[in-house]
Amino acid sequence: MIICAGESLIDMVSFRGEPEYTPHVGGSNFNSSIALGRLGANSYYFGAVSNDSYGELIENTLRHSKVKEDFVIKTNRPTTLAYADVVDGIAEYTFVDEHSAGRLLDQTSLKPFVNRVMKAKALLVGGISLQAEPCGSSWQWLVEQVSGHLLIYFDANIRPDFIENKRNYFDRFVELTTKVDIIKISEEDYRYLYGAQDFNKVSKVWLDNGVKLVIFTLGSEGSKVIFDNGKEVFVKSQKVDVVDTIAAGDTFNAGFLLNLDEQDLLDREGLNAINNDQLTRALNFANKVASITVTRKGANPPWHEEL
């Protein structure tokens, strides 16, 4: 099983200045779980879901997409809302998140799941659930408990509005680089954290810390993986007519993990022996899945038969 742990929310999406916002289910880790379920993986979503009407919509989407709910934590706190204004395919976000189901998730709520998480093949973490408090500290604690017991994929996916103290988040990010097996970070996220520092030097530090793969996404240009003490594999993005980029990275994560699993590489031993051809296949598949998602409104990953 592959567990996607973190936030779920409702994207209220407006396209090109439309006066009305349309609700779409979303959340970085939630989107990845949906994409995995639709692609036929043994997908589980792990996070807090509200008992409100938006929470019901989130749960219905999980069931429709064949995602298992064994790790869902129900609460009466409200669902996070993200107002997304999409212009030229790019979404600008405003969040309503105070006292929400996801933000107030505490360590006590996560403790009962630790042993079961360790039995999974892979755990996907990241996004705003590791940036806001108190949930950020809670999810970091979970990662520390299960590190070394299963493959951990960490997608930075930074939203600066959620980071109240940049120094504290940077320290958390650095600490996580000693606990995870795969790091995915975009050009934009890297600049936010490291400014003009040389990426190859910084990524080497991550690899020295025990990270097996560093995925660096370059927007419409493509993506590359750095591994095995500095080797690189680069794959160009597929050119499509973009409607919006919501969930593109989340779907990429799902595609990459699924393809590793299909190649019998979804464990720490497999990553130790991975080669250029295998990584090229994983990147190509991840790009292919993401390229379909960006041709649609909102977070709407493809089903396997659509590939």
What CA–CA distance (Å, rounded) separates 87 from 96?
A: 20
Mean of pLDDT over the chain: 92
Nearest to 299 by CA among 28, 21, 52: 28
Q: Confidence class of residue 13 from pLDDT cuts 50, 70 and 90?
A: confident
The two three-digit tokens of residue 29, written as one number: 């880790």
The whole-number average pLDDT for the span 224-232 is 92
What is the 3-class SS of 132-174, one letter each residue? CCCHHHHHHHHHHHHECCEEEEEECCCCHHHCCCHHHHHHHHH
Q: Confidence class of residue 302 from pLDDT cuts 50, 70 and 90?
A: confident
pLDDT of residue 72: 97
pLDDT of residue 241: 77
pLDDT of residue 89: 60
The whole-number average pLDDT for the span 123-146 is 96
Q: Give me the number of domains the chain comprises.
A: 1
pLDDT of residue 91: 67
Q: List the CATH number of the domain containing 252.
A: 3.40.1190.20
What CA–CA distance (Å, rounded) separates 124 from 5?
A: 6
pLDDT of residue 264: 96
Task: Give the position of tokens 């360590």.
Answer: 107
Indicate the range of 13-17, 34-38, 62-66, 236-240 predicted with least confidence: 13-17
Give yes or no for residue 238 having a pLDDT over 80: no
Give yes or no for residue 232 having a pLDDT over 90: yes
Nearest 5°: phi and psi at 252? -55, -45
**8 Å CB contact between 48 and 105:** yes
The whole-number average pLDDT for the span 207-226 is 92
Q: Confidence class of residue 174 from pLDDT cuts 50, 70 and 90?
A: very high
The whole-number average pLDDT for the span 265-291 is 94
pLDDT of residue 111: 97
The whole-number average pLDDT for the span 216-237 is 90
Query: Which tens digits make up the pLDDT trace of 65-97?
Result: 999 999 999 999 999 988 877 766 676 777 778
Q: Which residues pair with 192 in a beta bridge?
A: none
What share of the chain in percent tops pLDDT 90? 74
Count CA atoms closer than 13 A to 254's CA, side-chain side: 37
Q: Which domain holds residue 35?
A: 2-306
Q: Confidence class of residue 16 from pLDDT cuts 50, 70 and 90?
A: low
The whole-number average pLDDT for the span 59-63 is 97
DSSP label at residue 302: P
pLDDT of residue 237: 80
The two three-digit tokens of residue 33, written as one number: 């779980």
Question: Given phi > 0 = left and psi -120 to 50 = alpha, else beta, which region is 240?
Answer: beta
Give yes or no for residue 147 having a pLDDT over 90: yes
